Structure 1
Amino acid sequence: MRKRWTPALAVALPVVLAACGGSAPPGATGSDEGGGTGDTIVIGSLHPLSGAAAADGQQMDNGAQLAVDAINEAGGIESLGGAQLELASADTQGAPEVGQSEAQRLIQEGAVALVGTYQSAVSQNVAATAERNQVPFVIDVSSADEILQQGYTYTFRLQPSAEVLGQRGAEYLAQVSEAAGAPAQTVAVLHEQGPFGTAITESFRAQAEQLGMTVGEVITYDAANVSDFTTQITTVQESGADVLMVAGYYRDGVLVANAVQTVGPELDAVYGVANGAFDTPQFPGEVGAAGEGVFDANYRLDITNPETQELAELYEQTHGDQMRTAAVLSHEAVRVVADALERAGDTDPAALRDAIAETQLESLMAQSGPIAFTETGENENATPILMQVLDGNVRQVYPEEYAETPPVYPAPPGL
């Protein structure tokens, strides 16, 4: 039976290991001072802890730390004598070159695996570094398809790829709008200009056009520096589009919602695809009426799972904030590494990589099966679902098997 670590199972266990002196496994630290202490296995956590995406990055690092705490409290890695985990956190600043140098530093300092990084451009560099050093890298959040199109064997991704997110996003829009008797016809797109937003848009556009929709105005922006979207939303208004698709991060998502409310374009829907704001619990409270009716097709924590609910409650008790789905994925990434360490019984990077490749781990996410990776490193059961802000709360609305309530469509801004 595979070991599953969750807050419910994290019980404090005294762990006293034999002194290991110089016999610690690769990637582990140990000491024989004071009669013997347990080995420590280091996992590197790379996220934007400063800069425009710091709120998400801090949440994700917190989620990873909660997983480490739960595993250690439950006895550590049993197959390695109860070895304890240590999370080594690094700030990527949202910059690819910083992420790369920090990844290299963590590896040199003994990290047996890396998790991260939120921004696709950063994850591209970290994946290259992990591959060069042959150290496993588990991507929690970063959707760009090209990351896993390099033939890498040490990189794995938990969230759905950009291709899957874009395709499903277009399909859900077509299905929901047609069922409501108001099929989406012309879609304007507003996306951040990096690999993430570009990949989502390309996938969405191809599928939308195949389904008979016209993708008209496409507007890009720099997520790190944008401060207002009034001009862009005015362009959308003048385009005559009936739907605005938005792919971006949290801060810019809030700015978009506020600009839509200010400009007041006639739209049947503001429709996020992998949007970093529209499905977070903080979004409705921050933007108020400007968020009402907004959709997002994205990965999602499984709110029907009691263990996910317990994790979210623990997060709020510990950090005084509601847990975002991205933080759950970081928590999952650490669990994947720990599960692989347990099964491998070894911290050797090659053995750990092989164990990760054979993962079959129940997920705290809403997805169509356990965490399991394809030969290219994709989580084959990762499933985007459609959410909508209704009565000030983010609700799962489609497909039906995941829906808490039916979708409302058309959903003009602010309803």
Structure 2
Amino acid sequence: MTKRLTQTVSRRTLLAGGAALAAGPLGAPGLAGAQPAAVKVGLIHPVTGFVAYNGQQSRLGGTMAIEDVNKAGGIKSMGGAKLEALLGDSQSKVEVGVSEVEKMNEQGVAAYIGCFQSPVGIAASQAAAKYGTPFLVDVGASDLLMSRGLKNVFRLKPGFGVCVDDGIASLGALNKAANGVAKTAVIVHESGEFGTGTAKLLAGKLPSIGIAAKELIAHDNPTRNFDNIALRIRSLAPDIVMMSNYGNEYMLLARTLYQQKVNVAGFFSILGGGFNYKFVKEMPDVSQYMMDVNHWYNPKSPQAQALKKRVEAAGALFTFEVYLTYTNVMLLADALEHAGAADKEKLIAALAASTFKAELMPYGPTKFVNGQNEGGRPATMQSLKGEIEVIAPEQFASAKAVFPKPKL
């Protein structure tokens, strides 16, 4: 049975009508104008566990998009077929994510979207491949997701390889403009595939911009105390601290470094899981001047601004999980329109050939190569006075960077 969506009252208001997705009239034999069968979409996210907030935000974006597709008339090339959400909770566990795939397969799912965490997404998409079912990666950053040669896996956003390349270029430009003030860095990362892979890439590429990685420091998930790591960083005295971890650990580490007055030229993260509106609004002093290279919406997109207002009006935050999962549902709906059917082979072919325009994102043209969208790019942001400003690329910039940051 499909799991129920658990949200706050304001989110229920936002998703009014979404609960009726699975209960919509499917028509009855012999009735004129019977509604075509719904297309079942599996949304698998960690809505409980240590990254539950992130998973709930992804689910919010996905269910909003499904509601919007249905309100706009459903999949027109399929006679107005509606999308139906099958909601799965991975609980941040690989085996549970796989179990959700199996369960939804029995329910006749046409495609999956998920799973926020790379390890869960790797296993879940592999399980989906057994049935030839399309799997759209909404947030997972590991490039292992896309390097296995699976024909059913698609990722619209950039992976950590592209994010690291763009982040290194951005940091190099900032440092050059500041007369090369930064010469050393310490990289703090979560010990899973996402953080470890990103940290290794960073350590190998930093010398190309004249910065040496003094040390890579791994931590477990979850971690409740960063005092010893902060003391270690202070003893190493780097010019830059770089972080690649999930939300709770990102924010706790940032607060610990602030409290222990660790003075550096800059805090510069790549795919910092906690660099979002929740962080900068709750801890404006801690977040001030911190920078991150990450998924972000196009601030010049009217569609993105309209969705942001809807989300915020309902009391939620417009975090990257919301608009990334929302956009993936829209990508799937576009592919269904072109395929004209929920047939898995036709749908995979439509996704592979897709030229979907990601209106919400600061991307170039969509072009999938081995399932990876070549047009997906990250943005570089900085927290300034309790707001998140885009500082690069220039065509999307809303503010100029402050680097090096003033000392505490």
> TM-score scaled to structure 2, two decimals?
0.91
Asked whether the equivalents of residues 226 and 252 of structure 2 are also in contact (C-alpha less than 8 Å), the reply is: yes
Deviation, 1:213, is 1.3
**Equivalent residue, structure 2, for 1:348:** 343
1:208 aligns with 2:215: no
Task: Give the one of 257, 269, 274 matched to 1:272.
Answer: 269
Cα shift at 1:234: 1.0
1:84-103 → structure 2 map (5 Å cutoff) = 84-103=82-101
Partner in structure 1 of residue 22 of structure 2 = none
Asked if residue 409 in structure 1 is aligned to residue 403 in structure 2, the reply is: yes
SS of 1:133 mapped into structure 2:
coil
| 1:326 and 2:330 aligned | no
In structure 2, give the amino acid aligned to 1:245: M
**1:229 maps to 2:229:** no
Contact 1:116/1:140 (8 A) holds in 2: yes
Distance 2:77 2:378 in 1: 35
- Within-5 A mapping of 1:352-371: 352-371=347-366
C-alpha separation in 2, matches of 1:235 and 1:248: 18
Question: What is the one-letter code of the residue matched to 2:171?
Answer: L
Q: Paired residue for 1:310?
A: 306
1:3-402 aligned within 5 A? 30-32=26-28, 35=31, 36-223=34-221, 225-278=222-275, 280-318=276-314, 320-374=315-369, 376-402=370-396
Three-state SS of the structure 1 residue aligned to 2:391 is strand
Distance 1:185 1:341 in 2: 50
Q: Identity across aligned pairs (percent)? A: 29
CA distance in 2, matches of 1:139, 1:358: 17
Paired residue type of 1:87: A
Tell me if the contact between 1:178 and 1:184 (Cα under 8 Å) persists in the aligned partners. no
Provide the C-alpha distance between the structure 2 equivalents of 1:75 and 1:340, rounded to a whole number of angstroms.
16
> For the residues of structure 1 that align with 2:312 and 2:159, how far apart are their CA atoms?
29
* 1:268/1:409 contact within 8 Å kept: yes
Counterpart-to-counterpart distance in 1, 2:304 and 2:146: 28
- Counterpart Cα distance in 1 of 2:367 and 2:56: 27
Q: 2:359, 2:149 → 1: CA distance?
A: 28
**Deviations 1:196-215, CA, capped at 9 Å, x for gaps:** 11111122222212222101
Partner of 1:13: none
Runs of 5+ unmatched residues, structure 2: 1-24
User: Hey, what's the Cα distance between the residues in 1 that align with 2:345 and 2:26?
Assistant: 21
Q: What do the CA deviations read for 1:302-357 (whole angstroms, capped 9, x no partner)?
A: 11100011111122234x11211121010011111111111110111011000011
Q: Could you list the runs of 5+ residues in structure 1 that have no partner in the other structure?
A: 1-28
Aligned to 1:22: none
Distance 1:350 1:194 in 2: 33
Partners of 2:96 and 2:46 lie apart in 1 by 10
Q: What SS does the corresponding residue of 1:343 show, helix, strand or coil?
A: helix
Equivalent-residue separation in structure 1 for 2:177 and 2:122 (angstroms): 39
Shift of 1:412: 4.8
Shift of 1:181: 2.0
The 10-residue stretch of structure 1 (62-71 or 182-191) with the greater mean CA deviation from structure 2: 182-191
CA contact (8 A) 1:297 1:384 kept: yes
| Structural RMSD (CA) | 1.7
- For residues 303 and 268 of structure 1, the distance between their equivalents in structure 2, rounded to whole angstroms, comes to 27
Distance 2:362 2:308 in 1: 18
| Number of residue pairs matched by the alignment | 383
Give the counterpart letter for 1:165 in structure 2: C
Shift of 1:246: 0.2
Measure, in 2, the Cα distance between the counterparts of 1:399 and 1:40. 41
Displacement of 1:250 after TM fit?
Answer: 1.1
Q: Distance in 1 between matches of 2:303 and 2:373?
A: 21
